[in-house]
Every structure is written in C-alpha cells, then in structure tokens.
Structure 1
C-alpha cells in the first residue's frame, strides 16, 4: 500500500477532531442538534484551515444512519455506516464536489443544477459542495441564484472560498457565512506533537516551534512541512535540521543583532550581517525573525508578565526588553517591517539589510548614542545616566514630592551662573525649604537601579526663585491643590515667564513666515520653549529627545543668527507648558469656540433647532 501523507491521513473525520475552529464547530453542532438547518453555507478562510473538511463532516452529519442503520441527523457522525465511509472515500452519489477553479463557466454550473431536480439516491440529503466559488464567472453566479435562494428541501449547498470579497453580494445574502480563522502557532504545535506521537517520530520542541511558525496558520501546510522534515531528517525532527531545511535564521544571530542595536554597536551589526551572508541565511527571514521577537518584546515592555517556562527564548527576551527602550523597540519594529519591502529594490539584499538595521542608530539622538554601552556594561552605563533636578516654585514648608525630570543637554558648556554640569547654579541650602527626595529617572538602556554615586553631585533642593540670580530667567506657575499627606501629589515645575514666552513666540512666527526654518527645524522651534537667556546662550526645553538632533539644533542656530540673534542653543528634555505650537493650538481652539457660540446665537439656527428638532453635528463647525 502506498504511503498516505499526513495531511490526508490525519484529516478530521468528525467535529470532535477539528482543531482551532471551535466557533464553527459549536454553531454547526447546535444547528444539527436542534434541526435548525440552513439550505446554504459559505465557509471562508485561508488555505489549509479546514473548509473542505468541515463540508465533508457536515455532509456525513446530514446523511449518517448510525452503526445499526437506524440513526438520523446527528452532530457526531458514526464514521462506520455506508454513508460516512463513502463520503470519506469520495464515492457517495449524493455528495458532489465541484472545483470552481477549473469548472468556472455557466455550462458546468447548469450541469450541476440539473441534478437538483432528482431526489437523493442513497442518502437523506443531496449536498453540492463548490470549492473556490469566487472563481465562477458572473453568468455562472447568475445561473445559480434562483436555485440557491429556494432549493428543494432535500438539497444543501456548501460553498468554500479563500477570497469572499470576490463573491457577489447576491450570493452572500443567500448563505450562512462562517469564517475559519488562521490557527495560532501554539495550536499547530500541539497538534503536530499529537500527530508525531501517533506516528512514533521523535521531535525536538524547537523543531515543532519552527514548523508551527512557518505554517502561518495553515494546518495543512504544517503537516506538509512535517512530512518534508521527516524525510529530510531521516525519520527524526531535530531543530538544526529543520532550521536548515526551512532556511530559517539561527536565533543566535538575531539576538546578537538586537543586543548590538540596543548597545549602539554598529560594528557588530555589520559583522553579523556579513556572517549571515557567508552562512547563506536570507535577509528576508532575518527581518521576519526580528519582527516576531520585537513584537513580543513590545508586549513584554508594556504588559508585565512572567516568562514562559517552556520557551527558552522567553527569559532572554525579557532581559533584552529591560535593555532596549520602548520607543526604540517600536522604531526598530517599524523599520524591520517596512524594510522587508526594500530588500528587492537594492542590488544586494544583505546591503539593504545592513542599511535597515543601521537606520535605527542614525535616528537615535546623539546624547543617547554617547551613553549607550553593551548590555554587559550595566555598572558603567548607570554612572553616566542623566540625573534628575527638582526645583520648587516658592520657599516654604516641606511640599509633596516633586516630579523628577530627566535632563539631557547637547553642547552645554559651563558659563556664567552655571555649574560644571552646564546647569544653573543653585543657591545654598540655607535659602531653601527642606530638601526633597529624588525618584530615579527611567534609564535609557538598563532598567536596573543605578549604583550609589561616589559624590552627591545632584542633591536636589527647593530654591527661592527670587534668589536664583540673573543667570536663570524662570518664574513660578500656579501650584495645584496639595493632596492630604496620606496621598501626596507631585508639584509641577516652574513655567516659563510670560515675557520669554511672548518673545520666543514672536521670533518663531517670524522664522516660520519667512521660511527660514522648515521640516524638523521648524518642529524644534514650534515644540520648544525658551526657559533661560544668558550671554551668548539660550536654553530651550523640548518635550522629547527625538528633537535633540545636533544637526537640527545647528540649523536652528544658523536661522537665529540670520535673524539677528547669534546665540548658542542648549537643549534639555522636560515638560513644556508654553510653546509656539501650544499657543497656536489654543488660538485655533478659541476661534472655534467663538464660531460655535456665534452659530448657536444665530436667530435662523435657533429657529431651525426649535421648530424642526434639528441638531448641530459635533465637529462639523469650522472657524473661517
């Protein structure tokens, strides 16, 4: 007897053996049990998820007579009666399968429908199964519409398609539609383990995971790949041989690339890509593996969960998730996802892979590039992390814990009124209220708490703004109400003085109006606020580190110099309460509110609302 492939040998014979389609099994099972049977069913889904299998099981359920020949319609066909056996072997006269991919014309459909006038010969129902029904022509669809809408009571239609969008709505409206979903890799892996146990084939868990991921939700593809892997491995499934057969990239290379990107090590990235070239691993499969790992890392960073014990990669993934910042994870995921489309455009796909990976390092802020180290150098990295500086708006008794602000300064040199760290000098503790405790800032690379510094160089104190001296132009903003001591709230930092805000707003408006700044330089000017002016230097505060590019800062300095302000810009990350962008947004919101008030007060509009029960659609009013 010839060998039967696994996909055919282990095709489910009843609903209980169906895997991964519980929603379809439950609906059909209840319909068969309660005898609420529709005359036409449409099964949709990708290849290899069980559309034809469900059709055959449904035909057996409708025509099963039981082992004793006295059974009726059932949700659990016996599999031993003549009807069940004939349907499984394709010899049942009243069950007809039509391949619409090769029989797509109106003549073939009319020939099938001519059989509908005759009652079943062997079974209880005639079942017409049309596979890939979307391939039928428009005239063929029109020919079957009337019969599909009102078939004889003994006739059931079962349609299957992988592209339901191509099926006319006139056909869809006549069918009960079920969408068979792609199967999860874990579901496929568990079923493969069950099949291999029945076949008495030894398999490593890593090999099963590779096969389950490569199947992409199709159980038939998974079983076909398993057949190929058994032949390739000589009767065994080992991870190394399966990886070689699939051409999948060794996870060690992917981990090396991710760790090098987290540490900002471009040399290791180039060397690893060259190793992939020498070993023959594909660039597309490399990016595919990276996309999968980055997606799991993003979930681990946003949702705290314990590592899965059955997956050896999970522990390493959790560790790397603490090293790579979440924003870098999202950026790298997007770059790898879109980079797969660039591989075919480049003369050399490995050169394109190198460019895709190095793009993250090119877009990383310069200050972050200088502080990034290898993950093994966590103690050295903690020593150079940006520290937190807290300032209290007014002197007085001890206030609730302030909000820490992580400050990163670019090209910040000491000057008058500044310390050797480039920050404004603070008055001695004697002029302040009580000192507050600083919460450690979020680390850029390592989430482990930093070691205690040798010298308390950033001991935070609350300062009196009047005594801060002329070197720092800041003013307090309104403090929120202080919560009870049992639940203290963080007090905000002092905001920018109105005169500095007005000056910076007018200056930025002038630069934008004359097209002196564009693109990222314009965004830097609009999103930042001027917090301090010193001789020859201005300090800008920006809401995010992505705007702190040295080239962007230099171009803004050049635009300011051309406008008559030859100053050096010092950028720092922190909350921005008053920026040109926020002022423009507030002005636009005010104009919109005035327009809405003007419209509501219009007599004609009021008469329409009162007499005809009209209403103003939210968001439909625009200020001219």
Structure 2
C-alpha cells in the first residue's frame, strides 16, 4: 500500500477535528443546527489553514444521510454514509470543485453554471466549490453574478481565496464571508504532538517548537515539514536534526549576540557572525530569531507579569530584558526588521548580516555620560566660599537655604588647610571674568565652577509653543549662534546642535551646553562646533550634557515665529473689510491660510 502523507492522512473530516478555527466552526455549526443556511459562502485565509477542508465538511453536513440512511442536515456528519465517503474520496457527483487558477475564463464558468439547472442526483444539495476564486477574469465574475445572487434552492456556492482584495465587491456582497486565521505556533505544536503520538514517532519538544515556528501559521506546511523531518531523522525528530534541516539559528547564538550588544562588545558580535557563516546558518533566520527574542523582551519590560513560566528560554529572555533599557530594545528590534530587507541587496548576505549587527552596536547610546559639572577635581567644602546652596524640593525644582538669603550672614573665610586653587564664578554677558590673585605658594588649578541651575522646560498648554525662560546666558548664546548661522560657519547636525542647546554655565576657558536629545550629542558635532566658536573668537572647550532645556535659540525662534503668526492673524481679523465680509456674507477665513510676511534683511 502506498504511503499517505501526513497532510492528507490527518485532514479533518468533521468540525470537531478542526483546530485553530473555532470562530468559523461555531458559526457554521449553529447555522446548520438552526437550519439558517446561506446560499453562498466565502472562506478567506493564507495557505494551509483549512479553506478546502471546511468546504468539504460543509458539503458533507448538507448531504449526510446518517449511518442508518435516515439522517438530515447536521453539524456532525457521520462519515460512513455514501455521501460522506464519496465526498472524502472526491467522487460525489453533486459536489464539484473548480480550480480557478487553471480554469479562470468565462467559458469554464459557464460550463459550471450549466449544471445549476439540474437538481441533485444523489445528495440533498448541489455544492459548487471554486478555489482561488480571485484568479477568475472580470468576464467570468460577471457571468456568475446573477446565479450567485439568486441560485436555485438546492444549490450552494462555496468560494475560497487567499487574496480577498482581488474579489469584486459585487461578489463579496453576495456571500457570507469567513476569515480563517493563521494558527498560533502553540496550536500547531500541540496538534503535531497528537499526530506523532498516533504515528508512534518519538519527537523532542524543541523539534516540534522549531517546526511550528517554521510553518508560519499553516497546518499543512507544518505536517509537510514534519514528514520531511521524519525522513531526515530516520524516523525520529530531534531538535539538532530539525534545526539542521531548516537551517534555523540556535537561540544560543541569538542570546550571545544580544548580550554582547548590551555590553557593547563588538568583538563577540563579529565572532558570532562568523560562527553563523561557518555553520552555514541563514542570515535572514538570525535576524528573524533576534526580532522574536527582542519582541518578547519588550513585552517583559512593559508588562513584567507577562512572563511565560513554562518556556525553558523564559529565564534567559527575562535576564536579557533586565540588561537592556526599554528604548534600546525597541531600537534594536526596528533595526533587525529593516536589516532583513537589506540582505538581498548586498553581494554577500553574511557581510550584510555583520553590517546590521554593527549598526546595532553603533546606534547603541554610550554608557558613559558627560559629567554634569565642570569640576576638574573635587574640592572640600571649606574651600568654597559660602553661597546659597541649592537643594531639591519634592517637585524637583531647586531651592535655596533660608540662611543663604540673609544679608547679615557673613561668608566663611577659607581655612588654611584648603588645597591650592581658586573658584571661578559664572561670567555675566559681555563682562570680563574677574581674576582673583592666587595666594603665594598656591597654584592656579581650577577647583570648581558654580553652574547656574535652570528650571525645568515648560510648554504653553494653550498654544502648544515651547515656553522660553530668558536667561543672560541665553541672550549671549542666541547672539553667538545667530552670528555663526549667518556666516554659514555651522551647517547640518552642528547647526542643529547649536540651535537646540542651552548655555547653562561658562568660564573663561570652558562652556557647558545642555541638549534634550542624546542623538545630538555626537563627538564629531561637538568638535566642529568648538572649531567654529574658536574661529569666531571664542577659544573655549565645550562640554555637552543631556537634560531639560528651557532657553535655547530654537525655542526662542519658535516663540518669535508664533508671536509673528499671532500678530498677522490679528491684523487680518481686525481689518474692516474682512469684518464686513464676515458680517454681510458669512465669509470664513480658511485655517492656516494666514502667513506672516518674512522680514527682509538690508
């Protein structure tokens, strides 16, 4: 006896045997039990999810005669009567399957419809099943519209397609549509376990997990891959053999890559990529597995209670989720998805894989942040003159000790034990920095520079325009940046860094800038901005920190643009002619049509 492949041998023959399509089974079963039968059904879904199977079971339910020959329409066909056995074997005269992929013309459809005028020969209903119905031509669809809308009471249409968007709306409106969903990997794995238990084939859970993932929601693909894996493993399903057959990437490689990316270890990343090349593993599969792991990590980071305790890999994924910040996980996931589309464009997919992995490493934010002060070495408290010492209120804003505000509180003199050095105060705009004469025997090394604390950034809730808190440093920085922009001394990212930055502190040789976005804080941009400042006569070193910004040239420009827009709108609204047109003719001003006139520079 010839061998029957698993996909055909274990094709469901009743609704109770179907898996993963409970919503369709429930609707059809209730309709059959209540005798509420539609004349045309449309089943949509990807390959191997059960469209043809549901059609055959529906035909058996309509024509089942029962084991005793006295049965009627039922949701549970007996499977032993002549109608059920003939439909299963494909020789039932009143059940016709038409493959529209090869019979897509109007002539084939007309030949099928010519049979509609004849009553059933053996069964209770005639059933016309048209597979891949979207392949029919426009004339073929038009030829069947009238019969599809008002068929004889003994005729049922069953249409199946993988692309319902190509089916005309006139056909969709005449059918009762059911969407068969792709099956979850867990559902496929459970069904494979039952099939292999009936076949008495030993299988490792890891091998079934790989097969269920490779099926991509198709039960027929899963059973076909299982047939191939049984032949490859000589009657056994072992994880290593199945992984070799599928070319899948071992999750250990993926875990090693993500761990190296979290640690910024470029050497391990390149070595792991070379290991994938030596083992002949698929580069696309590597990025796919990384995307799946990163997706589970992102879920754990957002919802810690969503941990899958039954998965043996859950502990490792949970550990990796703690190593990476949530924003970096999202970034790596996005780069992996886009990197898969680039593999086919590269001359070597493994070289493309290495570039994607290095891109993941290059876009990883630096772990070492810029220091938030300009201290060159720590200074004891006694060496700093008494000044208002900022603290933090519960709302996060700085406050000053009450004693510091008293005018009668004398400053504590420096003790003899103070280390050599001096303290530079914040320089006011356009004023030379005061130089204090260093005591004899003491050096001129900078001990600390007080940095003026800035309030948190504000946004006008009524207008949505970023609020600006003017500061003396902001006036000076606005003028400096505007000078550089007018001379085109800075462009592109360097100009964006200068416009988005806030000058929070400066002395005669060092300026501290603050930006809100880490992507602007790049070494090359900082170096080019420093060179531009030196060319403009400001021979200083600059440091950039990441934090809240309340006074930057970009914020000032946005606020000024908003003010000009408001002034332009007021001019139009207050114009007597405009008011007369609104009053007499109900005229309305189109939103967004008022634009301020740009000022021309002389």
Q: TM-score, normalised by structure 1?
A: 0.79
The question of whether the paired residues in 2 share the 8 Å contact of 1:419 and 1:425 is answered with no
Change (3 A) 1:434 1:334: closer
Deviation by residue 1:458-515 (Cα, 9 ceiling, x = unmatched):
xx996689899434453665999xxxxxxxxxxxxxx965222233334434444554
Corresponding residue of 1:215: 215
Alpha-carbon distance between aligned partners in 1 of 2:34 and 2:88, rounded to the nearest angstrom: 25
Corresponding residue of 2:540: 567
Change (3 A) 1:554 1:433: closer
Corresponding residue of 1:555: 528
Residue 540 (str. 1) matches residue 509 (str. 2): no
Alignment of 1:409-424 (within 5 A): 409=370, 418-420=375-377
Deviation by residue 1:276-318 (Cα, 9 ceiling, x = unmatched):
1111112121111111111111111122125323211110011
| SS state at 2:345 partner | coil
Alignment of 1:59-98 (within 5 A): 59-98=59-98
Per mean C-alpha deviation after superposition, the further-off stretch among 212-221 and 318-327 is 318-327
Change (3 A) 1:519 1:223: farther
Per mean C-alpha deviation after superposition, the further-off stretch among 274-283 and 468-477 is 468-477
The question of whether the paired residues in 2 share the 8 Å contact of 1:496 and 1:531 is answered with no
Change (3 A) 1:609 1:145: farther
Alpha-carbon distance between aligned partners in 2 of 1:419 and 1:425, rounded to the nearest angstrom: 17
Alpha-carbon distance between aligned partners in 1 of 2:56 and 2:340, rounded to the nearest angstrom: 40
Alignment of 1:123-522 (within 5 A): 123-305=123-305, 307-365=307-365, 367-368=366-367, 371=368, 408-409=369-370, 418-420=375-377, 432=389, 469-470=425-426, 471-472=449-450, 474=452, 477=455, 497-512=470-485, 514-522=487-495
Unaligned runs of 5+ in 2: 406-410, 412-423, 427-448, 459-467, 597-602
Alpha-carbon distance between aligned partners in 2 of 1:608 and 1:81, rounded to the nearest angstrom: 83
Alpha-carbon distance between aligned partners in 1 of 2:327 and 2:292, rounded to the nearest angstrom: 17
Corresponding residue of 1:13: 13
Alpha-carbon distance between aligned partners in 2 of 1:235 and 1:594, rounded to the nearest angstrom: 82
Per mean C-alpha deviation after superposition, the further-off stretch among 206-215 and 302-311 is 302-311
The question of whether the paired residues in 1 share the 8 Å contact of 2:453 and 2:504 is answered with no
How big is the shift at 1:67? 2.5
Deviation by residue 1:204-235 (Cα, 9 ceiling, x = unmatched):
11111101110111111011111111111122
How big is the shift at 1:430? 9.0
Corresponding residue of 1:27: 27
Corresponding residue of 1:399: none
Rg bigger for which structure?
A: 2
Change (3 A) 1:20 1:506: farther
Change (3 A) 1:274 1:606: same
The question of whether the paired residues in 2 share the 8 Å contact of 1:429 and 1:461 is answered with no
Alpha-carbon distance between aligned partners in 2 of 1:9 and 1:599, rounded to the nearest angstrom: 79
How big is the shift at 1:29? 2.3
How big is the shift at 1:78? 2.3
Corresponding residue of 1:450: none
Unaligned runs of 5+ in 1: 372-407, 440-459, 481-494
Change (3 A) 1:3 1:520: same
How big is the shift at 1:101? 0.8
How big is the shift at 1:325? 2.0
How big is the shift at 1:170? 2.2
How big is the shift at 1:546? 2.4
Alpha-carbon distance between aligned partners in 1 of 2:583 and 2:190, rounded to the nearest angstrom: 65
How big is the shift at 1:436? 8.0
The question of whether the paired residues in 2 share the 8 Å contact of 1:254 and 1:286 is answered with yes
The question of whether the paired residues in 2 share the 8 Å contact of 1:496 and 1:529 is answered with no
Alpha-carbon distance between aligned partners in 2 of 1:189 and 1:607, rounded to the nearest angstrom: 75
Corresponding residue of 1:54: 54
How big is the shift at 1:40? 1.5
Change (3 A) 1:613 1:409: same
Alpha-carbon distance between aligned partners in 1 of 2:382 and 2:481, rounded to the nearest angstrom: 28
Deviation by residue 1:300-357 (Cα, 9 ceiling, x = unmatched):
1122125323211110011011112222222222222111222222222222211111
